[in-house]
Amino acid sequence: MAVLPPGVSAETFAAAIKEFEAAVGKEWVFTSDEDLAPYRDHFSYIKNQPNELVPSAAVGPDSTEQVQAIVRAANKHKIPLYAISTGKNFAYGGPSPNVRGSVTVDLKRMNRVLEVNDKRYYAVVEPGVSYIDLYRHIQDHGLKVWVDTPDPGWGSPIGNALDHGIGYTMGFYRDHFGAHYGMEVVLPSGEIMRTGMGALPNSKSWHEYKHGFGPDPAGLFGQGNFGIVTKMGFRLMPQPEHWRTGAVMVPKRQDLIPLVDTVNYLTDLSIIGEPWYGNGVAPLMGNTEFRDAAMGFNETAMDAQAAAAKVHSWQVELQFYGSERTTLSNWEYAKELMARAIPSARFMDGESFKVPLTREQISKSTTPYRSNMRRNITQGVPGLGIWWMPSRSDQNPNAWDETHIGLFSLIGRSGEAIFQAQKDFASVSKKLGMPSAFPNAIQTPVNWYQYAFIMGNGFGLGRGDTSPEGKKAAAAKLREVLAENAKLGYGDYRAPPMLQDDVADQYSYNNHALRRFNETLKDAIDPNGIIMPGRAGVWPAAYRSMRGSLR
Amino acid sequence: MSAATRRALAGAAAALALAFAATATAQQSAVQRGDAKFQHSCAPCHAAGVGDDGRAMLPGTDALRIKYKGAVPPVPPLLEERTDLTAPVIKVFVRHGSFSMPPFRPTELTDAEIADIAAYIADKVKRAAAVSKAK
């Protein structure tokens, strides 16, 4: 499987490898097929194909100084680098680079928790620290702070934040890049830069004021290719004393509009954590009459059948963090607001637990309604329990999600926007000849980001035709979905390398002014284009001809 | 036997005893290291206990339960109860993954750490067998 970086001779590559070995030690430079196997995307839809995005080598530095030496050697020999933190970005490419033959800079060995402050509520970590590591550090030291974990928890706070990942507690903390405060970066020149107050030598508040003074380039490193981040600070949520949940059920389809409005109000007043939307009519999809109504957006028929079946159209589960008394008071207030907006709303008390929850309380739901809420992540407890999703099941004992791709469109945060998106996604699905009951009129959004909804709009790839041709055809269809969605004003927030050019194409306002701006910066800051060329569709001059070539 | 020979033999015996003790200590610490690494890198998916979302088992344990359903002789779904997980076997699964389990890189689990995990599992199985025999 030996590959070389594009345009690099075997001699030059060998010279670069020698310099990498001098920088990190021979035992941490990997070039054999066996050692490089885990650097491939295990869920790639082009696995074992000639265009699979495999690295030519991997280098595992243990310090910022070693990262600097690697970057300098790469610059000298014009070797493209691709940095990974814990390399678990599955569904978004895993550890695989954008350019076949890149050298992977594997930051896993930089796994130190540098500081956790439970009085000023922040942590500072290196890239190789996983959410599970950080959680265990906090537990081992008896600190009273929470991590806001994505699921699964084997990823790193730095890697996840840099890919704009999300979590499940209070709004501010759920936006992992937004909750970062201060970073240290090795620039393409090999120089170290610190953002925010970190630019001030001997700063006393690096992780408490993120803007510093003047333009703040921190955003360039999120889904970016302007440097390799070696340290980041994150705000941490204080451990609350109590956690309470409750559900609101509304009977009619149109009730979703005031429901969302009221939830938004509670969210933006920081009264509730992540709201979990759901519906009561999903079981009716087995009924042909209801299914036809839901796929045809026949509201009157849907409402009539929901009423006949005595089920609610929508529900939202709310969660409250605070003291026993304040959470109760906030739940009462939420019910009062809901009743004012939707007189026919019904309410059910959910759980009420002292924090931290016991293992039993975390693992066993006793909610009196059908709950969609996943408890570990609402408590900031990272784990791998979610991995049941792509794995074997009793229903599919010999199948797994061979191709695992996450694609989610951003939509506005209102009931009207949800209705519009449902119709738009269904029309795209129909137009592209994808016969499926999904998307439809009962699809619910997620509120991972506080200020926007996200809705899945793809379709199952993994367990359909898993031949190379079948996967390729499905991926081509996905590209069409992305292009059609963009025409309707929907863009995705994240994508695997193979689809990043397609998602970047969605953001084309004013003849791709944003991309042209980023690439102007890229050429100035990284003239040899060695840092993650092609990431998020930003191609340096040296590799620009590769745009759109990933297929 | 001369006094010098006796002294030499006694010295050799002492050296041998020390060597045995050192081997035992190294072995013990390999088991301890393997235990810690197993808990860190394997247990989140492959331990005993319930899974998320009302599932009876963690995903790795459940996947192996399904995989080895009806196997003869039976194969336990818990890695810590397996008798066939030598270091080379573990390495194949770790470096290449299996089904939905992705592979692990040498920076996450070195070959030496994989050997420690194998030592830990073997030791755990041996202890469990001893307890079972004692009953």
DSSP A206-238: TTT-S--SS--GGGGGTT--S-EEEEEEEE-EE
Write out chain A residues lying below 8 Å of B52, CB-based: 363, 374-376, 383, 385-386, 388
Write out chain B residues lying below 8 Å of A60, CB-based: 106-107
Length of chain B: 135
Q: What is residue B135's predicted lDDT score, i.e. its pLDDT?
A: 74
Residue A109: which of B45, B52, B107 has the nearest Cβ? B107
pTM assigned to the model: 0.94
Best B38, B61, B68, B105 member to test A by mutation, with max A CBs in 10 Å, is B105
CB contact under 8 A, A95 and B96: no
Write out chain B residues lying below 8 Å of A90, CB-based: 102
The span from the CA of A153 to the CA of A386, in Å, is 9
Residue A391: which of B40, B94, B100 has the nearest Cβ? B100
Mean pLDDT of A482-505: 95
Best A388, A389, A398 member to test B by mutation, with max B CBs in 10 Å, is A388
The span from the CA of A444 to the CA of A312, in Å, is 14
Write out chain B residues lying below 8 Å of A58, CB-based: 105
Q: How far is B80 from chain A (nearest CA, A)?
A: 18
Q: Is A363 on the interface with B (CB under 8 A)?
A: yes
What residues of chain B have any CB closer than 8 angstroms to a CB in chain A?
40, 44-45, 49-55, 58-60, 62-63, 66-67, 69, 94-97, 99-100, 102-108
Other beta carbons less than 10 A from residue A485's beta carbon: 22
Is pLDDT above 50 for B1? no
Cα separations (Å) of A401 from A165, A232, A390, A391, A397? 21, 33, 5, 7, 12
Q: How far is A206 from chain B (nearest CA, A)?
A: 30
Residue (of A155, A147, A37) closest to A90 by Cα position:
A155
3-state helix, strand, coil in chain B (%, to 5): 65, 0, 30
Write out chain B residues lying below 8 Å of A86, CB-based: 108
Q: Is A462 on the interface with B (CB under 8 A)?
A: no
CB contact under 8 A, A108 and B54: no
The span from the CA of A423 to the CA of A534, in Å, is 33
Give percent of chain A above pLDDT 90. 85
The span from the CA of B97 to the CA of A379, in Å, is 30
- The three-state DSSP-derived secondary structure of A454-504 is EEECCCCCCCCCCCHHHHHHHHHHHHHHHHHHHHCCCCECCCCHHHHHHHH
Mean of the per-residue pLDDT values of chain B:
86
Collapsed DSSP state (helix, strand, coil) of residue A291: helix
The DSSP annotation for B16-77 comes to: HHHHHHHHHHHHHHHHHHHHHHIIIIIHHHHSSS--STT-SS-HHHHHHHHHTTT-SS---S
Is the predicted ipTM greater than 0.90, yes or no?
A: yes
Mean pLDDT of A184-209: 98
* Residue A236 contacts residue A394 (beta carbons within 8 Å): no
CB contact under 8 A, A42 and B50: no
Q: What is the pLDDT of residues A321-359, one digit of tens each?
A: 999 999 999 999 999 999 999 999 999 999 999 999 998
Write out chain B residues lying below 8 Å of A385, CB-based: 51-53, 55, 58-59
Q: What is the pLDDT of residues A97-147, one digit of tens each?
A: 999 999 999 999 999 999 999 999 999 999 999 999 999 999 999 999 999
Collapsed DSSP state (helix, strand, coil) of residue B93: helix
Residue (of A128, A130, A127, A137) closest to A154 by Cα position:
A130
Mean pLDDT of B65-79: 95
Q: Is A132 on the interface with B (CB under 8 A)?
A: yes
Residue in chain A closest to B45 (alpha carbons) equals A384
Q: Which residues 393-432 of chain A have a CB within 8 Å of chain B? A: 393-394, 397, 400-401
Mean pLDDT of A230-238: 98
Confidence of residue A39 (pLDDT cuts 50, 70, 90): very high
Tokens of A69: 């030496």
Q: What is residue B53's predicted lDDT score, i.e. its pLDDT?
A: 80
Q: Is A39 on the interface with B (CB under 8 A)?
A: yes
Q: Is A137 on the interface with B (CB under 8 A)?
A: no
* Residue A540 contacts residue A521 (beta carbons within 8 Å): no
The span from the CA of A201 to the CA of B22, in Å, is 50
Q: What is residue B22's predicted lDDT score, i.e. its pLDDT?
A: 53
Is pLDDT above 90 for B25? no
Residue with the two structure tokens 């903390």: A173
Cα separations (Å) of B92 from A54, A110, A420, B79, B89? 19, 25, 49, 15, 5
- How far from the centroid of its chain's Cα atoms is residue A285's Cα? 30
Cα separations (Å) of A396 from A118, A313, A401, B6, B124? 45, 30, 10, 71, 32
Residue (of A498, A463, A538, A416) closest to A93 by Cα position:
A498
The span from the CA of A264 to the CA of A451, in Å, is 8
Q: What is residue A91's predicted lDDT score, i.e. its pLDDT?
A: 87
Collapsed DSSP state (helix, strand, coil) of residue A106: strand
Backbone angles phi, psi at A180, to 5 degrees: -85, 140
Q: What is the pLDDT of residues A270-299, one digit of tens each?
A: 999 999 999 999 999 999 999 999 999 999
Write out chain B residues lying below 8 Å of A384, CB-based: 44-45, 58-60
Mean pLDDT of A515-526: 98
Q: Is A4 left (phi over 0), alpha (psi -120 to 50) or beta?
A: beta
The span from the CA of A352 to the CA of A324, in Å, is 8
